[in-house]
């Protein structure tokens, strides 16, 4: 493999790795926004909060693996509390109430992390077992980024099985289609939706932990990645994990090669792709008309 081919291959893998992290965040948002209809503008803030939890767990335990297990769960618990005691109360106000509340929650989380952790960048080291490079033909590539790709694929498989191959998944999809009917069958629909919200935030939490050693932890993390997640959900189609996965990969590649060749226009490529897709399919690539 010559130098140019190696460069292109490295950029492609880098784009896929970024796309996988983007998928973790977008898939969680898709579960919440696409299946529950909640306009969760705090999703990026939950992603950022998980990165800060990761930093604290690593500082206490010295283990990135402990942080990978604990930080997303802590973030999901915060999400469950938010859904139970705040979002559920404003749902009678419709989308506008959810929009204002979740925006307020995002600002509250941002203020909280600045108060407890400060505003400085907080570095997290890659675990020793994932340091170094892996040899792919003539290409040397960081092992950690390969790990990011593998972890996202595992989460995709687990979520697909959970939502489409289990009784719980059937209940969730039925509740989305006809909430009153499912409730009449004796199923606690609010409890199911609280669980779904927690799962969505948990997925964002995994993304926050995984990206922390790459970008470091800082208050602007939510803005840097959160908006891309919303664009992925809209472009891929609400409620479609397949759409979120494919569009995340496309966005990751556009970002990687865009930065390589058109550094100032990389964000424009992503927005341009979204506009092109929505002009042809207003409900997204894999969205369905309600």
Q: Domain containing 170 — which CATH number?
A: 1.10.3470
Dist. CA 263–CA 213, nearest whole Å: 23
Q: What's the confidence (pLDDT) of residue 238?
A: 78
Q: What's the confidence (pLDDT) of residue 1?
A: 53
Dist. CA 207–CA 204, nearest whole Å: 5
Nearest 5°: phi and psi at 136?
-120, 95
Q: At CB < 8 A and 24+ separation, what contacts does 104-110 make? A: 105/41, 105/42, 105/45, 106/41, 106/42, 106/44, 106/45, 106/222, 109/42, 109/45, 109/46, 109/48, 109/49, 109/222, 110/45, 110/48, 110/219, 110/222
User: Which pLDDT band, with edges at 50, 70 and 90, does 290 fall under?
Assistant: low
User: Is 179 inside a domain boundary?
Assistant: yes
Query: pLDDT (tens digit, 9 = 90+) per residue, 13-22?
Result: 888 888 988 9
Structure tokens at 188: 């606690």
Identify the bridge partners of residue 273 per DSSP, sorted by sequence position: none
Sign of CA pseudo-dihedral 55, 56, 59, 63: negative
C-beta separation of 225 from 44 below 8 A: yes
User: Is 288 inside a domain boundary?
Assistant: no
Q: What's the confidence (pLDDT) of residue 288?
A: 62
User: Is 286 inside a domain boundary?
Assistant: no
C-beta separation of 175 from 193 below 8 A: yes
What angle (nearest 5°) sits at the alpha carbon of residue 262, between those of residues 257 and 268? 90
User: Is 285 inside a domain boundary?
Assistant: no
User: Is 158 inside a domain boundary?
Assistant: yes
Question: What percentage of the chain has pLDDT greater than the value 90?
Answer: 38
Radius of gyration from C-alpha coordinates of the chain:
19
Residue of higher predicted confidence among 6 and 145: 145
User: Is 290 inside a domain boundary?
Assistant: no
User: Is 138 inside a domain boundary?
Assistant: yes
User: Which pLDDT band, with edges at 50, 70 and 90, does 74 fall under?
Assistant: very high
Mean pLDDT of 83-99: 84
Dist. CA 132–CA 145, nearest whole Å: 11
Region of poorest pLDDT, from 19-33, 75-89, 96-110: 19-33
Please count the structural domains in the chain.
1
Residue 182 has pLDDT above 80, yes or no: no
Residue 266 has pLDDT above 80, yes or no: no
Region of poorest pLDDT, from 7-16, 168-177, 278-287: 168-177
Structure tokens at 230: 């919303």
- pTM recorded for the entire structure: 0.90
> Which domain does 235 fall in, by range?
3-280
Q: What's the confidence (pLDDT) of residue 137?
A: 64
Residue 211 has pLDDT above 80, yes or no: yes
Question: What percentage of the chain has pLDDT greater than the value 70?
Answer: 95
Q: What's the confidence (pLDDT) of residue 55?
A: 96
Q: What's the confidence (pLDDT) of residue 221?
A: 85
């Amino acid at each position: 493999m010559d130098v140019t081919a190696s460069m292109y291959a490295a950029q492609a893998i880098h784009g896929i790795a970024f796309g996988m992290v983007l998928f973790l965040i977008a898939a969680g948002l898709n579960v919440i926004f696409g299946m529950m209809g909640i306009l969760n503008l705090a999703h990026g803030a939950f992603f950022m909060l998980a990165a800060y939890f990761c930093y604290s767990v690593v500082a206490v335990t010295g283990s990135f693996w402990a942080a990978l297990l604990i930080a997303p769960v802590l973030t999901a618990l915060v999400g469950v509390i938010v859904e139970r005691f705040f979002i559920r109360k404003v749902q009678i106000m419709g989308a506008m109430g959810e929009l204002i509340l979740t925006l307020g929650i995002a600002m509250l989380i941002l203020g909280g992390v600045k108060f407890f952790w400060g505003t400085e960048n907080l570095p997290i080291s890659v675990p020793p077992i994932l340091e170094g490079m892996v040899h792919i033909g003539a290409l040397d590539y960081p092992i950690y980024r390969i790990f990011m790709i593998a972890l996202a694929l595992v989460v995709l498989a687990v979520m697909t099985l959970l939502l489409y191959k289990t009784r719980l998944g059937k209940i969730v999809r039925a509740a989305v289609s006809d909430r009153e009917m499912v409730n009449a069958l004796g199923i606690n629909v609010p409890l199911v939706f609280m669980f779904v919200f927690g799962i969505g935030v948990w997925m964002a939490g995994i993304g926050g932990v995984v990206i922390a050693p790459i970008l470091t932890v800082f208050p602007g993390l939510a803005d840097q990645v959160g908006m891309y997640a919303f664009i992925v959900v809209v472009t891929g189609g609400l409620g479609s994990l397949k759409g979120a996965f494919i569009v995340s990969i496309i966005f990751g590649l556009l970002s990687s090669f865009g930065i390589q060749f058109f550094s100032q226009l990389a964000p424009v490529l992503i927005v341009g792709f979204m506009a092109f897709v929505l002009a042809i399919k207003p409900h997204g690539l894999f969205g369905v008309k309600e």
